[in-house]
Amino acid sequence: MKLRYFFGKPLSNAVAHEHRLRKLKALPILSSDALSSVAYGTEEILTVLVLGGTAALALSMHIAIAICILLALLGASYYQTIEAYPSGGGAFAVSRDNLGEVPSLLAAAALLIDYLLTVAVSVSAGVLAITSAFPALMPHTVLLCVASILFIAWMNLRGVRESAGVFAYPTYIFIFVVIILMTIGFWKIHFHPKTVIAFQNHHGAENILPHGNAFIAISIYMILKAFSQGCSALTGIECIANAVSVFKQPEVSNARKTLLMMVTLLGIMFFGITYVANALHVIPNERESVLSQIGHFVFHHSILYYILQTATTAILLLAANTAFTGFPRLASVLSEYKFLPKQFSSPGDRLSFSNGITSLAAFSCILVIIFKGNVNSLIPLYSIGVYLAFSLSQLGMVRHWLRKRCANWQFKALINALGCIATITALGVIIASKFLEGAWITVFLIGGAPIVFYIIHKHYNSVDQELSVKVTEANLYLYEMAQIKPKVIVPISRMHRGTLAALNLAQHVSDDVIAVSVDTSHKNTEKLKNMWSQLNINVPLVVLPSPYRETISPLKRFIREQDKREPERGLCMIVMPEAIPSRWWHYVLHNQRATLLKASLLLNRRHKGSTRIFVDVPYQLQ
């Protein structure tokens, strides 16, 4: 079956504008990372607070309020960023424009690593939601995670518009079901207190007590750690500002409206779920997520509960899709600046950045396998990158307003300054509370990534410098080369149609042609010599001895010797006859000596600054 059936027909640049997104389709694609955090943000707060006993669980509301205030500041900040950078105000672009190259590379490294962790965390949390409803699937967690990542990658390889159409419905179903969950939950809490007491007694929430004075001793650290865990609920806020260009016209207006919708929905759902969980004294555990427990309280075992769990799984997987939108675009920008391989720069035939998508999928699968799809193991690595990017972006925007001094610039700078202070504070808390739990890995990777970027950048610059040539030098080179006939070597193993075509071509190119064969079989060599003498070919045949039946090494030695002959004529041209099989599986039935010889000569460091011409003469087998 052809790959087109899997990935769709190629799309031309002329239809690129048709694949931009409206607000209602952009919301699930670009906001799902943030909206999906409702499924685990509250749980991460409670996982820490439960160590302090029932009294400590009440602090979850104060922490939720602090996180909502931070959400409002970030929303206002990125609302302005969209206006200032309508082509895409990613942290890399803002930092590069206002802070310099090193901060911009730190921002890029932070975002790339966070996108990778977003996929791993979101998919793992999504699989946890479905295994909470169907515990029999729990032993297959890693397999389900890998399969989910591959499915999302496949959908993105088919194109942005097609993936938006598929993933839009689960997002809106999730929003609708969560709002119903909160509404019924509020109603039961305030008008049916007996059901709340019965739920608390059944789940044993009242029996959790702090050990001695443990709560007093660790309260500050515990609050800070719970806040840092809950800050994972704000990851993905920046994605709309990064991808303004994917919106239909007017891009800025549509992006801003989508950002407001996202911030409003996230604030309402996050606060509402935390409120209900606090009222019920829900305790997180490895067998069932907090959202699933609330679902059981509100919906019991009705069809709505299973819709909730299915929608939760879907939006968590869709949250990974947000990273599949952001990672390839950022990698493309870095590639254009020569900080990543050039393969990331251009979109594929479906107008999606296929190399970035496949790279993200591969690394995410490795991460999920290493951590066995465990959300709690991955969370300590999470959030650091995105909050560093938040901070650099907001600092860059402050510098932007100070430089531009446009209308109301003081107020705009103040909003971004407050956002910067808030995110730097959050970043410090996150690093301090998570560092020894695994966050040091993320810090190390973010700090080391710019070094890799600079190594790549230096390589591309040196290549450009070495390959560049002035017009006068080019004309002189072309004139000198036209006066020189190359030394041509034709490696052959036996006489066949491809060999004859290669010899014919070589004789048309130069009068200095040598055919060379390696004697690995005396019988075959004698047969070649006899046929050579009968054909009266006007080309000398050199047979190289090979007592150890090697082929590549004798050929390389002979070619090096010929290279030294009349060095002013340059390196020898190699004309290689080759038989090409008609079926892919036939390749395993033939040796690949021509390919191996070519690779060996290309990797020879002795010929730095020189040019060697290879001419393949393929004979297509029937």
More confident: 559 or 597? 559
User: The tokens 């500002």 sit on which residue?
Assistant: 241
Q: What percent of the chain has pLDDT over 90?
A: 11
Asked whether 513 and 507 are in contact (CB, 8 A), the reply is yes
Domain boundary among 460, 491, 515: 460
In a domain, 475, yes or no: no
Is residue 16 pLDDT above 60, yes or no? no
DSSP label of 247 = B
Q: Which residues contact 612 (CB under 8 A, 6 or more apart)?
A: 571, 572, 573, 574, 601, 602
User: The tokens 């029996």 sit on which residue?
Assistant: 207
Do residues 448 and 508 share a domain? no
State the CATH number of the domain containing residue 497: 3.40.50.620
Q: Please, what is the end-to-end C-alpha distance for the chain in angstroms? A: 22
Q: What is the pLDDT of residue 434?
A: 76
Tell how far CA 361 is from the center of its chain.
7
Of the segments 77-86, 266-275, 608-617, which one has the largest average pLDDT value?
266-275
Please give the Cα distance from 171 to 592 (Å, whole number): 52
Domain boundary among 412, 430, 460: 460
Q: What percent of the chain has pLDDT over 70?
A: 86
**Could you report the per-residue pLDDT of 542-568, keeping only the tens digit for each?**
999 888 778 888 888 898 898 888 888
Model confidence pTM above 0.75: no
Can you give the residue range of the structural domain that contains 497? 482-620
In a domain, 467, yes or no: no
Do residues 455 and 528 share a domain? no
Q: In DSSP terms, which residues pair with 489 in a beta bridge?
A: 514, 574
User: What is the average pLDDT across 187-203?
Assistant: 77
Please give the Cα distance from 34 to 233 (Å, whole number): 6
- Count, in order, helices (H) and strands (E) of the chain: 25, 5
Q: In the structure, what pLDDT confidence band is assigned to residue 124 with cuts at 50, 70 and 90?
A: confident
Q: What is the pLDDT of residue 210?
A: 46
Is residue 154 pLDDT above 60, yes or no? yes
In a domain, 592, yes or no: yes
State the CATH number of the domain containing residue 273: 1.20.1740.10
DSSP label of 281 = T
Do residues 452 and 490 share a domain? no
- Amino acid identity, residue 214? A
Tell how far CA 22 is from the center of its chain.
24
User: What is the average pLDDT across 236-244?
Assistant: 80
User: What is the average pLDDT across 431-451?
Assistant: 84
Angle at alpha carbon of residue 391, lines to 341 and 106, rounded to 5°: 25
Is residue 541 pLDDT above 60, yes or no? yes
Spatial CA neighbour of 315 closest among 177, 428, 193? 177
Asked whether 510 and 575 are in contact (CB, 8 A), the reply is no
Q: What is the pLDDT of residue 270?
A: 92
In a domain, 470, yes or no: no
Q: What is the pLDDT of residue 347?
A: 61
Q: In the structure, what pLDDT confidence band is assigned to residue 3 with cuts at 50, 70 and 90?
A: very low
Do residues 349 and 389 share a domain? yes
Q: What is the pLDDT of residue 65?
A: 92
Q: What is the pLDDT of residue 167?
A: 65
Q: In the structure, what pLDDT confidence band is assigned to residue 297 with cuts at 50, 70 and 90?
A: confident
**Could you report the per-residue pLDDT of 299-354, keeping only the tens digit for each?**
888 899 888 888 887 887 777 777 887 788 888 888 888 898 887 776 654 546 67
Do residues 394 and 518 share a domain? no
Please give the Cα distance from 448 to 28 (Å, whole number): 33
Q: What is the pLDDT of residue 346?
A: 63
Asked whether 44 and 229 are in contact (CB, 8 A), the reply is yes
Phi–psi pair at 516, nearest 5 degrees? -135, 135
Do residues 450 and 492 share a domain? no
Residue 407's SS3 state is coil
**Could you report the per-residue pLDDT of 375-405, keeping only the tens digit for each?**
777 777 777 888 888 889 889 989 988 988 8
Asked whether 33 and 239 are in contact (CB, 8 A), the reply is yes
**Could you report the per-residue pLDDT of 163-180, keeping only the tens digit for each?**
555 667 888 899 999 999
Asked whether 541 and 517 are in contact (CB, 8 A), the reply is yes
Please give the Cα distance from 100 to 587 (Å, whole number): 51
Do residues 255 and 340 share a domain? yes
Q: What is the pLDDT of residue 313?
A: 79
Q: In the structure, what pLDDT confidence band is assigned to residue 215 with cuts at 50, 70 and 90?
A: very low
Q: What is the pLDDT of residue 455?
A: 92
Q: In the structure, what pLDDT confidence band is assigned to residue 12 with cuts at 50, 70 and 90?
A: very low
Is residue 276 pLDDT above 70, yes or no? yes
User: What is the average pLDDT across 198-219?
Assistant: 53
Q: In the structure, what pLDDT confidence band is assigned to residue 211 with cuts at 50, 70 and 90?
A: very low
More confident: 267 or 251? 267
Both tokens assigned to 316: 């968590």
Q: In DSSP terms, which residues pair with 575 in a beta bridge?
A: 615
Do residues 362 and 275 share a domain? yes
In a domain, 474, yes or no: no
Q: What is the pLDDT of residue 213?
A: 47
In a domain, 465, yes or no: no
Do residues 283 and 330 share a domain? yes
Do residues 92 and 22 share a domain? yes
Q: What is the pLDDT of residue 178?
A: 92
Angle at alpha carbon of residue 364, lines to 363 and 368, rounded to 5°: 120
Q: In the structure, what pLDDT confidence band is assigned to residue 493 with cuts at 50, 70 and 90?
A: confident
Query: Given its phi and psi angles, is residue 571 left (phi above 0), alpha (psi -120 to 50 degrees) or beta?
Result: beta
Do residues 487 and 432 share a domain? no
**Could you report the per-residue pLDDT of 447-459, keeping only the tens digit for each?**
899 999 999 999 8
In a domain, 509, yes or no: yes
Please give the Cα distance from 454 to 446 (Å, whole number): 13
Both tokens assigned to 142: 């890693």
Do residues 408 and 506 share a domain? no
Q: What total of structural domains would you count in the chain?
A: 2
Asked whether 320 and 115 are in contact (CB, 8 A), the reply is no
Domain boundary among 395, 430, 460: 460
Mean pLDDT, the chain, as a whole number? Answer: 80
Please give the Cα distance from 581 to 590 (Å, whole number): 8
Q: What is the pLDDT of residue 481?
A: 67
Query: Given its phi and psi angles, is residue 303 left (phi above 0), alpha (psi -120 to 50 degrees) or beta?
Result: alpha
Q: Strands, E, within 254-317: which ranges? A: none
Q: What is the pLDDT of residue 179?
A: 93
